[in-house]
């Protein structure tokens, strides 16, 4: 067991180092001059040269790499070429918005995906199951950026019910100042009892969360269905049935409890996937999260920010995977520890 975890940890470290290196190499071969961006389009040549020195871009690439890696370890991830702020600070500023969005979409996915999956499994090969199949495959086939725009068309333009984007109306924020604790506006508003802001933030959250949740809903539905089907065929379920336990009890109390583990696993992976999903969605909803920051950085060829975001997301991805593996290994000793 210990050997497995050590090995898995070592692998995660390798992955982190690898992603940072790949990101550095890719971002630094960009055929573009960060120094020119740094000083702005109307700068003189001398200003560009001076910026090159200040940014250390006049050094050989391996020196830059060494400095960058050293900085990464020390928590100095460089300064954004676009915003002129430390990348770490920028990312921390954008992180709460993304977390709020991702968490909301996860909750939504569970609320919709699990019942739908259960329904499909119980009514296998019946209309509900077919419908569930179409819905879940449809959900993972939707281009998220397009779904976002369609939702905007329907709920903003045609029905006039929900706002187009951003997290809060400025008027609401000014009228009811929000004491920020976590930076997740809806949560902070709930905790501090700031109802107008809570309401406004939920309105703003609705469309982006649904968009982001669509993929996860599809995955959760499929996973719940297939693992529940498997469990329902197990001996102990048959035994429970033969004891005459009500089917509802059998399904909800016995089968679902055992079938839920793979769903939770897949949910953890979806969480990581959603972090990337925000890249295309946040841009459409002007949602000032990490994905929005990344998209802006890519457009501006802001290489320090690109590397920073890449490393952060890849790290989150790797750590979630690590967590899932370790939990699995702890729960299920049959898993091969190789």
Partner 1 sequence: MRRLLRNPLTAMGVAVVAALAALAVLAPLVAPYPEHAAGAVDPVHKLLGPSPAHPFGTDELGRDVLSRVLYGARISLAVGVVVQGLALVIGVPLGLVAGYLGGAVDEALMRVTDVMLAFPSLLLAMVICAALKPNLANATLAITIAWWPWYTRLARGQAVSVRQSGYVRAAEALGVPAPVIIWRHVLRNSLAPIIVQSSLDFGAIVLTLSSLSFLGLGAQSPTPEWGLMVSLGRNFFLTDWWVVVFPGMAIFATVLAFNLVGDGLREALDPRARRV
Partner 2 sequence: MHFRRYWAGMLCVTLAGALALGALAGCAKKAAPAAPPAPSKAEVATYVNNSEIIVFWDPSESGSNEIIALNNIYETLLYYNSGTGECDPVLATSFQVSPDGKTWTFDIRKGVKFHCGHAMDANAVKYSIERTKNGGKGASWLWDPVEAISVLDPYKVEFKLKFSSPLDVALAAGYGAHIMCPVCTEAKGHDYLLQGHAFGTGPYMIESWKQAEQELVLTRFPDYWRGWQGKHFDKVVFKTVPEAATRRQILEAGQADFTEMLPYEMVKAMEGNPKIHIEVTPSYQNMLGLINTQKGALKDKRVRQAICYAVPYSDIIQHVMYGYAEQSKGVIPHGLWGHDENLFQYSLDLDKARALLKEAGYGNGGLNLVMTYVAGDENERRAGELVKAKLAELGINLEVRGMPWEAQWDLAKAPKPEDRQDIFVFYWWPDNANPQSYLSRVFMWQEPIHFNLSYYKNPAFDALVQEGIEWAGADRARTIECYRKAQEMIIEDAAAIFFFDQSYVRPMRASFKGFKDNPAYPNVVFFYNTYREGE
The correct pick among 3, 31, 41, 333 for binding partner 1 (CB under 8 A) is 31
Which one of 66-74, 134-142, 176-184, 200-208 is the stretch in contact with partner 1 (CB under 8 A)? 134-142
Please name which of 53, 54, 70 lies closest in space to residue 62, comparing C-alpha atoms: 70
Query: Tokens 């495959």, residue?
Result: 137
Give the nearer residue to partner 1 in terms of CB position, either 101 or 313. Answer: 313
Instruction: Identify whether the C-beta of residue 116 lies closer than 8 Å to the C-beta of residue 136.
Output: yes
In the region spanning residues 251 to 310, those forming contacts with partner 2, defined by CB under 8 A, are 251-252, 283-286, 288, 293, 296, 299-301
Q: Does 37 interact with partner 2 (rule: CB under 8 A)?
A: yes
The correct pick among 26, 61, 175, 337 for binding partner 1 (CB under 8 A) is 26
Long-range contacts of 228-233 (CB under 8 A, 24+ apart): 228/117, 228/118, 228/121, 228/122, 228/255, 228/256, 228/259, 229/121, 229/124, 230/259, 231/255, 231/258, 231/259, 232/121
Q: Residue 144 binds what, of partner 1, partner 2, none (CB under 5 to 8 Å, by partner type)?
A: partner 1
Cα atoms in the Cβ-side hemisphere of radius 13 Å centred on 78: 27
Angle at 262 between CA 256 and CA 268, to 5 degrees: 120
Per-residue tokens: 114 = 């699990």
The correct pick among 40, 56, 115, 138 for binding partner 1 (CB under 8 A) is 138
**What are the backbone angles phi and psi of residue 86, rounded to the nearest 5°?**
-55, 135
Which one of 63-71, 132-140, 169-177, 212-220 is the stretch in contact with partner 2 (CB under 8 A)? 169-177
Instruction: Identify whether the C-beta of residue 202 lies closer than 8 Å to the C-beta of residue 220.
Output: no
Residue 244 DSSP code: T
The correct pick among 37, 82, 94, 222 for binding partner 1 (CB under 8 A) is 222
Q: Does 205 interact with partner 2 (rule: CB under 8 A)?
A: no
Q: Residue 246 binds what, of partner 1, partner 2, none (CB under 5 to 8 Å, by partner type)?
A: partner 2
> How far is it, in rounded angstroms, from Cα 334 to Cα 328?
10
Q: Does 299 interact with partner 1 (rule: CB under 8 A)?
A: yes
> How far is it, in rounded angstroms, from Cα 257 to Cα 70?
46
Count of residues in contact with partner 2, rule CB under 8 A: 68
Three-state secondary structure call for residue 86: strand
Q: Rule CB under 8 A: which residues touch partner 1?
A: 11, 14-16, 18-19, 22-23, 26-27, 29-31, 130, 133-134, 137-138, 140-146, 149-150, 152-153, 156-157, 218-219, 222-223, 226-227, 262, 266, 272-273, 275-276, 279-280, 283-284, 294-295, 298-299, 301, 306, 310, 313-314, 317-318, 321
**Residue ranges in contact with partner 2 by CB under 8 A:** 30-34, 36-37, 39-47, 50, 82-85, 89-90, 93-94, 97, 111, 115, 118-119, 122, 152, 155-156, 159-167, 169-172, 174-175, 199-200, 202-203, 246-248, 251-252, 283-286, 288, 293, 296, 299-301
């Amino acid at each position: 067991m210990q050997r497995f975890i050590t090995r898995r940890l070592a692998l995660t470290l390798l992955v982190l180092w690898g992603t940072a290196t790949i990101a550095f190499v890719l971002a630094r071969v960009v055929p573009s001059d960060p120094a020119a961006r740094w000083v702005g389009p109307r700068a003189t040549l001398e200003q560009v040269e001076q910026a090159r020195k200040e940014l250390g871009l006049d050094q050989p690439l391996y020196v830059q790499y060494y400095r960058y890696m050293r900085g990464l370890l020390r928590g100095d991830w460089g300064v954004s070429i676009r915003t002129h702020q430390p990348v770490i600070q920028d990312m921390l500023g954008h992180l709460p918005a993304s977390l709020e969005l991702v968490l909301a979409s996860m909750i939504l996915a569970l609320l919709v995906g699990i019942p739908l999956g259960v329904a499909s499994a119980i009514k296998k090969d019946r209309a509900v199951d077919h419908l569930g199949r179409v819905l879940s495959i449809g959900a993972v086939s939707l281009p998220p950026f397009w779904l976002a725009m369609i939702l905007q068309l329907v709920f903003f333009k045609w029905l006039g019910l929900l706002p187009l984007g951003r997290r809060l109306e400025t008027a609401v924020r000014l009228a009811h100042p929000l004491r920020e604790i976590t930076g997740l506006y809806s949560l902070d508003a709930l905790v501090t009892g700031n109802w107008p802001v809570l309401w406004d933030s939920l309105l703003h959250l609705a469309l982006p969360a649904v968009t982001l949740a669509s993929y996860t809903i599809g995955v959760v539905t499929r996973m719940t269905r297939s693992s529940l089907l498997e469990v329902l065929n197990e001996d102990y379920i048959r035994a429970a049935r033969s004891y005459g336990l009500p089917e509802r009890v059998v399904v909800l109390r016995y089968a679902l409890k055992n079938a839920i583990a793979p769903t939770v696993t897949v949910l953890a992976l979806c969480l990581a996937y959603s972090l990337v999903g925000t890249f295309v969605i946040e841009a459409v909803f002007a949602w000032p999260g990490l994905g929005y920051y990344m998209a802006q950085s890519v457009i501006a060829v802001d290489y320090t920010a690109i590397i920073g975001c890449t490393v952060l997301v890849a790290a989150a991805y790797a750590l979630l995977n690590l967590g899932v593996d370790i939990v699995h290994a702890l729960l299920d000793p049959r898993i091969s520890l190789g």
